[in-house]
Every structure is written in C-alpha cells, then in structure tokens.
Chain A
Amino acid sequence: MDYAAVVFLEILYMIAFLALTSAGLAVVFGMMRVINLAHGEFVMIGGYTTIFCNRAGLDIWFSMLVLAPLVVGIIGLIVERVVIRHLYGRMIDTMLATWGLSLLMVGLVTLIFGNTAVSVTAPIQSYQVGAYQMGGYNLFIIAIGILVMLLLWLILRYTRVGLVARGAMQNAEIASSLGYNPQRIYMWTFTAGAALSGLAGGVMAPLTGLLPSSGSLYIAKSFITVITGGAAIISGTLGSSIIFGTVNQIVSFGSTPVIGEIAMLALAIILLRLMPQGITGRFFKNST
C-alpha cells in the first residue's frame, strides 16, 4: 500500500515536472508556431538566477518565484526583438537560429559561471510514507504545476489579454484589423513563454544540480511533450504530460530510470507517427 502511494506520488511528480517545464515552450509553440530550441537554456538560466540570487543573500522563494521569471522574461524579450521577429513563418530557420542561441547561451554561462556544477538545498524537509522517505519538495512541484496550468487556463479563457492572444493565434490579420498589433502580441507572448521557462528553472533548481549544459536535460522532454500535445496549449500539454509521465515512471519502477526515459522517447515517436498533428489535432479539437 505504501509502495503504491510512493509510485502514485512519483507519477504525479513526473507529470507536474513535464507540464511545468513544457509550459513556456507550449505557449510559444501554440500561439506563434515557433519552436524555441533555446527553451532548455531559458530553464537553465532560471535555475542559475535562483541559485546565485539566493547565494547573494536573497530569500530563496523570492528568487525562484519572482526573480527567475523576471530575468528570463527580459532575456526572452531581447531574443524576440533581436532574432525571432525576423524569422516568423520560417519554422525550420527559427529552429536553427534558436539552436544557435542555445549553444551561445551555454557558452556565455560557461564563460561567466564556469563549467562547474552548482546547487542549492531544497527549502522543504522530506517526510515518511510508511517505510519510504519522500522529498517534501516534490509535493511543492506538484502544487506549482497544478497552479501554473490553472492560472494559464484562467488567463487564456477569461481575461481580455487571453482573448486577444487567442484571437491573434487563430487569425492574426483579423486581430490586426481590429486594432491589435500582432507584432506586439507575439513579442509579449514570447516574453511570457520565456518567463514561464524561467519559473520552471527556478523551481526545479533545488532538485537538480545545475551545469551550463543542463538545458539539454529539459529540451528533449519538453519538446516531445509539446509537439505530441499539439496546438492546444493547456489540454495538449496536460494530455501528453500525463501519458509520458505515467509511462516513464511505471517503466522506471519496473526497470531502470534510463529504460523509462527511452520508453518515453520511443512512445513519442510512435505517437507522432500515428497522430502527426499531435493529440489535440486528433481529439479535443476545440479546447484551449
């Protein structure tokens, strides 16, 4: 029974992890059809911001929940203005340019902080489930994952900003004829996506030590989660997070974590072959 609870919690944690680290990428892909291969580096920089602000004496919660999204959001804004806006509508070129950005950021972070691992201790104690020791911080990740998804849904569904953003996503020309500048909407969407990535990085920082190359840990998982999810931001990301998180953890418990990850990646290939438009291209077509 305890074991079942542990497995269940681990699955929930994995789902929250995938949803949280993919949210930024999903917003940018769903709204703008831009695949940001520098997403992993946004997450990594969010983590570095948290750790170094905390070392500078700032409160860790403040660092991860406010400063990390802020810093990465600003970086996202700069990236959008300098690089991405020239490449709208050229999907492959955007992928290449953002891949270049990702290498550039890895190089910059290596230059500034050195190629050594940094870490910070989790601010929540662990607790017992029967005979098993569980990280309390994982529960916090699950809560944050739910909260971010809920907030995103509320904003997109019930606010003016969300309405305009969804309108521009469906038809940029009509949105612009109604007086909303699509360029500006894209700019802020990209910034918001980057901020979400930064938040994910900040929140994940205490769990995983960070290296300049840590971004590559996130990019593959986020990438398959978002692409398999399809165009609908919330239901797509949630749907694929649930599928991949469950498969990954169940296979991991049955064998090794590496096999679990390989199973997840192999499943992604199969799903993409069966549903080239992603889950939400096939089911739940009218969801957000």
Chain B
Amino acid sequence: MTGHPTFGIGRIRWGWFIVGSLILLLLPAVTSTNTPTLLLIWALFALSLGLLWGFAGILSFGHAAYFGLGAYTYAIGSMNVGESTGPLLLAIVLPAAVAAAIGAMMFYGRISDVYMGVITLVVTLILFKFMSATAGDAYRIGSARLGGFNGIPAFPILNLPGDPSVTVFGTPFYYVVAVALMGCYLLCRWILGSYFGQVLIGIRENEARVELLGYSAPLYKTAIFAISAAMAGLAGCLFANWAEIVTPGVFSLGQSAEVIIWTIVGGLGTLAGPIAGAIVLGYLKLLLGQQTLIDNSLVLGAILVLVVLLLPSGLLPALTRWRERRDLARVSRRQASSTRRRRGQRGDA
C-alpha cells in the first residue's frame, strides 16, 4: 500500500476537531436527533474499520460480525441483568475477545490477504445463519430468547450507571453517541501517534522489514484487530439502543459491504474520511430509502465500482493530494514570476 509517509502520525488538526465538536454539540438545537444519532453510530462503525484497514492494512470483509456481536451481547445482557452498564462493557469486551481469537488464528497462521477476506466473511455468514435459525424456546440465553429471524425486541435501553430507573434516550442519547464517537476518534489518534501505532503503520508499509527489526507482526495485527472489533462492538451496542430491536440483519453481507464502501469512499489512511463517508453515504441511503424508484444497492454498488476504478484511495486523500499539488503549483508559479521580475529589473538596468 502506498501512501503519504506521515499519514496517521501527523498532528491532529485541533481547529477542525473543535469545529466538528461544536457542530455536534449544537446540532440538536437545529434538527431532531433521531437521524443524526444513527448517522453517528454508523460513523463510529466506519471509524473502527478505517483504523484497521487504513492504518494496519488489514481488510476485514466481515466487520459486521463484531458490530452484530456488540448488538446481540448488549441485548442479551441487558435482558438478563435488567441494567445497562455491565452489558455495555460486555458488548465492547466480547467482540474484542472473539476478534482476538480469530485474529490470532489468521495472523499467526500467516494467512494471506485473500484468504483472510474469506475467513472474515465466513465468520459473519456463520453468525448470520446461526442467529437466523434460532427461533423457538430452545434457543435462549438466560431470560433472553434469541428469536431467530425476528430478533430480540424490548430489551432495557441505556440507563444512568447505577440507576436503572433513569433511561437515556432522545437528545441525551444523541450526546452519548457523539461523545463516544469523539472519544474513539481521539483514542485512534492517540494509538496512531504512539509507539504501537508507528509499528503498525510500518507493518502496513513493509511487513518483512518490520519483522526483521525484531517486532512480532502477528502480535501487533491481532491487537489492532481486537481494538477495532471493540469499537465496532460499541457501535453495535449503540445501534441496538437506537433501534430498540436486534435482528440477524446486523450480521448480513449488506452490512459488511456498506461499512467497506463508507470507509473506502471517505478515504483510506485517514480517520476523518470514514466518518465523513459514513455520514454522507448513510444519509444518502436514508434518502434513497424514502423512494422506491431507484434501489439503494444499485447506487452503493455503482459508487464502490467507480471509487475503486478512479479513486482507489478514496475522496479525502485525493482531495489532500489535489490541494498539495495546487499549493506546489502556486509556489513554483510565484518563484517563476519573481525570477522573471528580477531578470526584468536586470534588463532595465
């Protein structure tokens, strides 16, 4: 993978971060929070894949597995506990643990890109098939019936830690999601700026070289896979709270495809790209869902094909490159004109 050598370790642009935070903070004053909440949850999901794919070079073709695991873990946990704090944490830890196990199997087995794609995809399919077939009383975990294709409805939604009677929904829930997204963004920045993150980027650029320097590539890759899955799990848990029902659809191929499209359209090797991609394309999906003339998957598919063919690294990096080129051109033009002026002066004299 080629890229700007300092991608991911550059300083965070605090100005943009503050502008983004302000927009998120003030948005509820302008519009209802229901749709923005969903878009931010999708953005968090895309961020988790953007971290894994853009910076560690690992493409998970079935990232919906961890999103769905987070959603199901929360639903089952909160039904059994009757309270949300424990299940929320579990919805982060369990996907991470599953990802660590699968990741260790793949990375220590030195499985190549394509086979990794197959394995991640197959894991998602297994979960989808299994969850779709769990109708009936035989399939229950504690007091939660898995419900097969109809999923799990009516589980307790988020509440204030320690006080199950105060539930969080509507605008407060929007703020919870916004804070989760901003927090995860900062966490990603911190990871990428750290020693660990630099080794990861090194692995993406040249795995053999990093290994010869004495780092264990499988260890680092497994770790980032688990971190990314934890974030996807958190997104899934928040999604469960937004939808107030969990169905096997969270494990579907479409879900996996969508998050890949958001990420690649927004831009690989950036963190803001996947967030922006998820928000814009997610909104487009909601708009397309309101009419029946053009199918949503038609548009998404066309976008994916075009981006892979024309902008393989996504919109944001392409934009950055374009801006750099423009600045360079401006500088060289200025230099050229100043030399001309100097020459002209000399000519006059």
Contact = CB atoms under 8 A, between A and B. Distances in A.
B59 A92 contact: yes
Given A92-B117, A276-B110, A104 B253 contact: no
A147 B61 CA distance: 34
Interface stretch (B28-36, B118-126, B171-179, B197-205): B118-126
A269 interface: yes
Contacts of A111: 294-295, 298
Give the 6 A-B residue pairs with the shortest CB-CB distance, closest first: A107-B298, A100-B304, A103-B301, A104-B301, A107-B295, A100-B305
A117 interface: no
Interface string B105-120: 1100111111101110
Interface string B299-314: 1111111001100100
A102 interface: yes
Nearest to A111: B295
B122 A99 contact: no
**Interface residues of chain B: helix, strand, loop or mixed (majority):** helix
Contacts of B294: 107, 111
**Interface residues of chain A: helix, strand, loop or mixed (majority):** helix
B219 interface: no
A288 to B, nearest CB: 21
B312 A93 contact: yes
A118 to B, nearest CB: 17
A287 B300 CA distance: 40
A126 interface: no
B135 to A, nearest CB: 11
30 contacts: A86-B309, A93-B308, A95-B114, A96-B308, A99-B260, A99-B301, A100-B261, A100-B300, A100-B305, A100-B308, A102-B301, A103-B301, A104-B302, A105-B301, A106-B297, A107-B294, A107-B295, A107-B297, A107-B298, A108-B295, A110-B297, A220-B122, A220-B125, A224-B118, A258-B132, A261-B129, A262-B126, A266-B126, A268-B122, A273-B105
Contacts of A223: 118, 121
Contacts of A102: 301
A103 B114 contact: no
A97 B111 contact: no
B112 A276 contact: yes
A181 interface: no
Nearest to A115: B295
A87 interface: yes
Interface residues of A, number: 39
Contacts of B121: 220, 223
Contacts of B297: 103-104, 106-107, 110
Most chain B CB atoms below 10 A, which of A93, A97, A108: A97
Most chain A CB atoms below 10 A, which of B106, B260, B301: B301
A225 to B, nearest CB: 11
A91 interface: yes
Interface in B219-265: 253, 257, 260-261, 264
A227 to B, nearest CB: 5
Interface string A262-278: 10011011001100100
Given A91-B113, A103-B304, A220-B125, 13 more contacts: A35-B117, A100-B303, A100-B305, A103-B298, A103-B301, A104-B298, A107-B294, A108-B298, A110-B295, A111-B294, A111-B298, A223-B121, A262-B130
A119 interface: no
A96 B309 CA distance: 10
A227 B118 contact: yes
Interface in A245-269: 256, 258-259, 261-262, 265-266, 268-269
A83 interface: yes
B80 interface: no
B296 interface: yes
A101 interface: yes
Interface in B157-206: none
A97 B126 contact: no
Contacts of A93: 308, 312
A258 B133 contact: yes
Contacts of B126: 262, 265-266
Nearest to A227: B118
Most chain A CB atoms below 10 A, which of B59, B61, B253, B261: B253
Contacts of A95: 61, 114, 117
Contacts of A216: 253
Interface string A108-126: 1011000000000000000
Contact of A92 (B113, B123, B133, B261): B113
Contacts of B112: 276
A265 B125 contact: yes
Most chain B CB atoms below 10 A, which of A92, A100, A269: A100
A99 B111 contact: no
A258 B134 CA distance: 10
A35 B298 CA distance: 21
A176 B214 CA distance: 42
B31 to A, nearest CB: 29
Given A93-B308, A273-B109, A99 B114 contact: no
B308 to A, nearest CB: 4
A103 B261 CA distance: 11
Given A268-B122, A273-B105, A276-B112, A97 B302 contact: no
Contacts of B113: 91-92
Nearest to A35: B114
Given A110-B295, A265-B125, A103 B300 contact: yes
Contacts of A273: 105-106, 109, 111, 119
A260 to B, nearest CB: 10
A262 B124 CA distance: 11
B106 to A, nearest CB: 8
Interface string A77-99: 00000010011000111011101
